[in-house]
Structure 1
Amino acid sequence: MGGIETNPGPHPLSDDNDDHNVSFESVSESNSIREMFSTSISFLHLNVQSLLPKLDLILAEYEDFDILSFSETWLNGNNSSDSVELLNYQKPFRKDRGPMKSGGGVIVYVKENIQSKRRDDLEVPGVEVIWIQLKLNNKNVLYGTFYVPPKSNNEIWTKIESSIESAVNDVKCDRIIVTGDFNDNLLNGANSKIHNICTNYSLEQLIGDPTHFTEQSSSLIDLIITDNSDFVPYCGVGPPLLDQIRYHCPVMGFINAQKPACLSFKRKIWLYKQGDFDEYRRILTKTNWDRIFSLNDVDKINSEISNRILDAAEISIPNRIVTIRKTDPAWLNNDLRKLIRKKNRLHSKAKRFNRSADWNKFKQIRNKVTTLIRQAREQYQNNLIQKLSNSSLSARTWWKTCNQISGIKPSHSGIPPLLKDDNLIFNDIDKANEFNNFFAMQTNIDDTEAVIPDLTVPDYTLSDITLKDSEVEDVLKILNPNKASGPDLISPILLKEAVSQLKFPLCKLFNLSLSKAIFPADWKKANVTPVFKSNNSNEVEHIFILEKD
């Protein structure tokens, strides 16, 4: 995000604060801002003035932030939480103005890899506020989001102060961050109610620039407040989300806490449509399979056959390595990301020099970004609709596509952080070990009181099973080429395109495995997916692990 400034420290309602309002443009032009997004916890608040129609823009513009909070969501009981979920964020914490009322409302999103829980004991009736407790670097952090309607009376402000006081006095928490739209202009701070609250409880307000703009005025009403400015080393005001006559700008900051590792991985993508399968088959035809079987070791032979198949594919089929990021919406491409970054740089420049030409350039590219984001989302939806007309779609793919079109999201996009001894496990290896320990424990059955039944020993044996090349050939021919590969990375396409070349070595391998009664170790591996039995998806016992087909 461009347009962020270094933390100006407390806002004392005087000209002395000007020395602290250092532009953050020099940081954003370097790699430092990217580094902070990758290493520190980031947060953002925006008075969004109707959340639902802007979800795609929000996901495209703000996907890098770990915590997103919005005021004036304008949601009510007609809007389910499923309809406002964001990819890679937990189910949102929300507080509507009322079941059927319009206007107002606040909502908070937290990334899936951050431990969070609602603290409704700090929320006061009659105040639009959400408090959540975050676990960051073994510290408990209270994060509050407020929306205070214009011209709120003293009773409302007394309740707001009571809510903040309860958070300040919570001995279980180490730090406090408060953000939101307070509709209390700190640029005219002589009678500021929020300033008095900050003074009473030794809190610091960190934003120094205007955040709300109309045709003829600007004001500072969207705030970031904390009990320790060192805990929020960088904060500032970002560019507006949309081109409007009256608008709010987002306020954002970085928390002095280490960010959990981003879940991404490398994957080799085979470009089968560009492959030379005649060359692929020629290479396999020349392979000396008898030499491989001279190893006389089932595991080694299986490994060598797999390597020969992949080596032949590497030579004859183009491929590339791509980075798979869990955080990527399907319709958001790199060109859009570059354009968003360019827009943010232009906003920084316009703020710095305040020239009409710079502001016009910023507005033009901002409008272009908005249009392209909506077009990309619409094109993605149209492609999904077109996909349904394919008569060869499997039932599973058809239903998955229908859910994508209708906006129905899967309950979970992966294995969530697992809860153990009141702490969350984020690391994939630690998760796997936790599952392994849990499932291994299920075999420890207390059978001390069990009665063992009498079993009749069978008088027949199955002494020999021998497969034929033709049987293996028949199975290879009916493989579904649309199925994914397993851990060995050999796709059904690679097997099906070389049936004549592979039926002999595979049949011989299967027969060797049967005769030696040895099941290759690689065949015991599988890619698995979680299936959730209940809403308690952070607990191991509420998750099935099934093999992907």
Structure 2
Amino acid sequence: MGFVHLSPHDSELEAASVVLEFRRPGRITWCLPIVCVYRPPSSRVGFWEQFTSYIDDVTRQIKHGSLCILGDLNVDCLSDPLPSHFRDMCAAHNVRNVVAEPTRFRSTSCLDVICITSDITAVNVNVIPDPISDHFAVKACLEIGSQVDRPQRIRVRTRKKPLSTLDFEEMSERIGSALTETGNKITADTTVDDLADKWHGSINDVLDELDPHVVKNIQLIKRSPKPWITREATSLLARRQYLHRRVRKKGSNDSALLEEYRRVRREGTLLNRRLRSRYYQNEFMSVKKQPRNQWVLMNALLRRKAKDSGEGIDHKGVSQVFQQIVTDPDRLPLLCPFGSHRQPSMLSIPQPTVTNILKILRTLNVHKAPGPDRIPSILFKNCHEVLAGSLCAIFKASIEESKFPALFKHASVRALFKGGDRSEPRNFRPVSLLPIASKVLEKHVYRQLTHLLLENPTIIPPQQFAYRRHH
């Protein structure tokens, strides 16, 4: 139960309301104002203005919820057309009457109404034939629980707390001990794939022990495109649309109606600007020390194009297109040109040193997304002293065997939208998220190849300035 709102004593309006609050632990999830009203047959025209103002007062402080109006209005709600004052009241508050039978004894008029908003469903609306005084009793079942926006829940595997808050000194000691124990089990027959697998297992065992993964239920809440819109603004918008339809129907001959429409349109525009400004002011104050969230708000404020939401995408079609890129025989020569398996005699990649690997680890970008091994780059950067030796051993074995570790070839493929129709799979391009360790090896090989190409003028002439440093 929420609060009760009575009509003012100095008013002729006979109305009362109650607000039902649907709660979950610690918060209100939905509100339903129920307004009960009686309009005497001898009431004046000003009744409808007082009643509309009364409903606005009841619903002004309610951000979420619907509206239900019950009572005897003493107007025939079955007539065609509807009485103008009743029709305007329904349009202003976006409600409809669900009673479709006469409610008065020995009459064909419907005086007793149940007006509800579109997000409430009325089931089994019955008029009880046994008369109570000169009116029938009206009974209806309103379904409101199914209309509450229940956010979709998904299960994700995440860490208990961000890695940036962990004690990396302790983690470095544990990783060093685990790698030392693993290194004692390595023999001369151990291949580069076995080295990579054992290294990966040791790192993940320490991570799972110090910062284990947990399974959480995440709510996917679909936010309103205009979260600053209140019930007052919604009612004003409905009123503007109703007047717009009437102006289009009658034309510009009715000057009073046209002036009313322009007034409501002007009020709606000013109210929307005021609410929008107040909303973004409050949002910017709440993320005052969060630059990333500030940019998200800035993009929304400037109406920049948001990232793809994933709606309307044929995920199976996108996957099939990506698979054809590497399985289509006609495309294989493009991926593996003829003669690429031959090793030029002039190409010789020197063995990496611990010093070189340390330099690469110190320059890693901690914001880069990890690959399928889920080992983040911040771990490599903060624990570089204990990881450099083991990575150097793996890279040496890879160069000696002329084989890239199979574990480093695994990638998480993400589809990025290029433009056009989102339902067309070919409008997406694949992006592979590789393990951070593979990027370290690739950077070492890249530096050696770059040095080789720049030192040999027969491969890249000095007149070539593009894609070269300091040119």
Relative to the length of structure 2, the TM-score reads: 0.45
Q: Greater relative contact order: 1 or 2 (C-alpha under 8 angstroms, separation 6 or more)?
A: 1
Between structure 1 and structure 2, the one with the greater Rg is 2
